[in-house]
Amino acid sequence: MRLDKFLADVGLGSRKEVKVFIKKGQVQVNGETIKSDKFQVKEKLDQITFEGEKITYQKDFYYLLNKPQGVISATQDNYDETVLDLFSDEEYREDLFPVGRLDKDTEGLLLITNDGVLSHQLLSPKKHVEKEYYAHVAGIMTNEDITAFEAGVIISGEEQTLPAKLTIVSVDEAMHTSEIKLILHEGKFHQVKRMVAAVGKEVTYLKRIRMGNLYLPEDIELGSYRQLTEEELGKIKGE
């Protein structure tokens, strides 16, 4: 691998920027200063340093984010804070993007990566990757709603949803509210809210708690993120 590609892959800068670092003598390979951006390196074997700091090769990055309300699932926006705005300067990369989206007022699990292949696999309708949500509902959810969701419902715009699994966590008769969990196999626009509305109720709070085999850990606070563990990465890749 060319030295400039190695440095760009690990996020040190663009190919243009890292060429400047190399020419200035800021990069060493196995203790030797290299000033040619075309110099070939073995990314897993050679010891490469930038200004004396060792660089470990990593091409693909995977972050688990607990998205808060008020933040949009986009890479950039002129008006609203985006999920990438939550990243520190040290961990931000221009090639990162959210896998799918959560509504602005929805909280919970969002995968941030630069792995386009994995993103496609997780979002492809043919894969039917499960997405599980927890919600507060204004209204009493019933066994009839469970049956309706299992069959798929007609939501606004005359769209037919795929079968979904509804679990009623609790019901408060006095407050006329419910807590539910809902497992979807697709990702239509505002789908949870529209499905609940189709049976005459309203979602008042929504959080995604699972995507495929990846669960939202309880120890990640709203607005916080961390890299996936090897075990979590294996689960989300189906290994």
> Residue 83 belongs to a domain with what CATH number?
3.30.70.580
Mean pLDDT of 101-123: 93
For the residues 10-33, what does the mean pLDDT come to?
91
CATH for 19: 3.10.290.10
Question: Does residue 192 lie in a domain region?
Answer: yes
Q: How confident is the model at residue 113 (pLDDT cuts 50, 70, 90)?
A: very high
Is residue 203 assigned to a domain?
A: yes
Regarding whether 66 and 109 lie in a shared domain, the answer is yes
Is 10 found in the same domain as 34?
Answer: yes
Q: Are residues 70 and 51 in the same domain?
A: no
Q: Which residue has the higher pLDDT, 124 or 157?
A: 124
Global pTM reads: 0.83
User: Which of 4, 103, 115, 145 does the annotation list as catalytic?
Assistant: 103
Residue 238 has pLDDT above 80, yes or no: no
Q: 3-class DSSP state for residue 132?
A: strand
Do 198 and 135 share a structural domain? yes
- The mean pLDDT of 59-69, rounded to a whole number, is 94
Same domain, 150 and 167: yes
Spatial contact of 103 and 127, defined as CB atoms under 8 Å apart: no
Is 80 exceeded by the pLDDT of residue 151? Answer: yes
Which CATH number is 146's domain given? 3.30.70.1560
Q: Is residue 219 part of a domain?
A: no
Is the same domain home to 76 and 110? yes
**What average pLDDT does the chain have?**
92
Least confident among 51-60, 111-120, 176-185, 198-207: 51-60
The answer on 229 and 193 residing in a single domain is no
Give yes or no: residues 105 and 135 share one domain.
no
pLDDT band at 239 (very low <50, low <70, confident <90, very high): low
Same domain, 41 and 85: no
Distances (CA, A) of 147 to 155, 160, 234: 15, 15, 34
φ, ψ of residue 118 to 5 degrees: the values are -65, -40
What's the structural domain count of the chain? 3
How many angstroms separate the CA atoms of 146 and 3, rounded?
A: 57
Is residue 12 located within the same domain as residue 46? yes
pLDDT digits (tens, 9 = 90+) for 128-150: 899 999 999 999 999 999 999 99
Residue 36 lies in a domain: yes
- Coil, strand or helix: which one is 184? strand
Handedness of CA 86, 181, 165, 210 (dihedral sign): positive
190 and 157 both lie in a single domain: yes
Return the number of other C-beta atoms located less than 10 Å from residue 220's C-beta.
14
Residue 66 belongs to a domain:
yes
Per-residue CA distances from 217 to 30, 112, 117, 165, 225 (Å): 40, 15, 24, 22, 10
Q: What is the 3-state secondary structure (H, E, C) of 16-64?
A: HHHHHHHHCCCEEECCEECCCCCCECCCCCCCEEECCEEECCCCCCEEE
Whether 20 shows a pLDDT value over 90: the answer reads yes
Which residue, of 40, 55, 70, is where some domain finishes? Answer: 55
Range of the domain at 199: 131-211
Is 218 part of a structural domain of the chain? no
Handedness of CA 37, 38, 42, 47 (dihedral sign): negative
How far is residue 191 from each of residues 108, 155, 200, 218, measured CA to CA in Å? 16, 8, 14, 25
In terms of Cα–Cα distance, which of 230, 184, 190 is closest to 209?
184
9 flagged as catalytic: no
36 and 70 assigned to the same domain = no
